Amino acid sequence: MLVRFHGVRGSIPTCDLFTWQYGGNTPCVEIETPAGHRIILDAGTGLRGLGRTPGWGPDAVPVQASWLLSHYHWDHIQGLPFFTPLYEPRNRFDFFGLQPEGGEVESVLQGQMLQPYFPIDMSLLKAARRFTGVKPGDRFALGDATVETAALHHPQGCLGYRIETGCGTVVYATDNEPGDQVGDEAIRHLARGADVLVYDAQYSPAILRQRRGWGHSSWLEGVGVARSAGVRFLILFHHDPDSDDATVERHVRLAQEQWPETQGAAEGLQISCRTPAIEFEVTRPRVGPRVGARIPVRLRGKRTDGSSLEAEGFLVNLTMKGTYVVLPEAPEIGSDVEIVLLESEQGDQAVPGRVVRVGSDSATGQSGVGIVFGAERHDRRSVAGSNRKPD
């Protein structure tokens, strides 16, 4: 069984330098069962990328797949109009989602495409479609997979899914807030003995205490669920839009100290379940093209003895993820730094980063410093009042 991540961000998409490593698209996860049946979990903006991968484009027609929708908040459905396989009449999709109160799954999905919110409606999606409302506790078959549902603790309702096959069990439990006794018991029952648990870890434990009622969880709660349910691997998911890559990395690292078999969900991550083996690989590395440069910079950081360091040198290449800087003196490896472009028209603007490599630059004989953008910056977010609408 293969699990592929196409969207891992919560609440709203991000598109900036500091969320590039993990990705900024909202939830969309693809599962391929041992028999080749395709299951799509949620339909956030990551869905657009899924539609462009091998096996989903025009060369793969006809496509047949099942859809499991956790709930209908925008970040989980806003990719639907941009999923090109839905416009091919020879394709077929079976949608399963939380039974709306007083409505139908199809009409709820249609709602985001009504005028004036979108220029086309679902009548232009020519693929064959069938819609089924499901309830917590339902159990049904999708090809060679058995699906079990449970209610998660989230405003307006949400479903978690347990997908069992002969090669392993994956549990998808995003948008879940701990603290409700019934809900806490349900999530642990759903996750019992799972090979992979994909779990909402939007907040740090401290932020979670400030945002009760918003419907999300933390890495610490994920560890608690994994431990008590006997989960093999925990995947932290639904990253907050205000969490840069360094923040997500910190959450993963803290979780690993308590539950070593923890990974952070990232676009392009693929998990292969062949019980008892579970393998992780990155099918689309989150590294952009490398651009050569020679830009004068000033670096601020600290030396290995802890004293402050300020040195001028040159930025000599650049990617979406980081840069390589040549300096007369190197900062401490693993430390946070700031890079200032000396000839920038925007003035003295510092870009934060973290030192991941220090060595001698062969061309100059000076120190060559590899830096990943997105250091562990102070959290500048303000905490809104309790009347904030949950995502």
| % of the chain surpassing 90 pLDDT | 66
Decide if 201 contacts 233 (C-beta within 8 A): no
Quick one: pLDDT at residue 234?
Answer: 97
Classify 224 as helix, strand or coil. helix
Cβ partners under 8 Å of residue 184, min gap 6: 153, 178
Looking at the domain that runs over 2-282, which CATH code has it been given?
3.60.15.10
pLDDT digits (tens, 9 = 90+) for 130-183: 999 999 999 999 999 999 999 999 999 999 999 999 999 999 999 999 998 988
Decide if 44 contacts 77 (C-beta within 8 A): yes
CATH fold for domain 291-373: Thrombin, subunit H (2.40.10)
What confidence tier does 284 reach under pLDDT thresholds 50, 70, 90? low
Quick one: pLDDT at residue 347?
Answer: 63
Residue 20 tokens, joined: 């590039």
- Rounded to whole angstroms, how far apart are CA atoms 100 and 70? 12
Cβ partners under 8 Å of residue 279, min gap 6: 271, 272
Query: Which of these ranges, 32-36, 195-199, 292-296, 377-381, has the smallest mean pLDDT?
Result: 377-381
Average pLDDT of the residues in 302-309: 92
Closest-CA residue to 18 (of 370, 239, 321): 321
Is the pLDDT at 387 greater than 80, yes or no? no
What is the reported pTM?
0.77
- Name the segment(s) of the chain with CATH classification 3.60.15.10: 2-282
- Name the segment(s) of the chain with CATH classification 2.40.10.220: 291-373
pLDDT digits (tens, 9 = 90+) for 317-359: 887 778 899 999 999 988 899 999 887 666 667 889 988 888 8
Decide if 50 contacts 293 (C-beta within 8 A): no
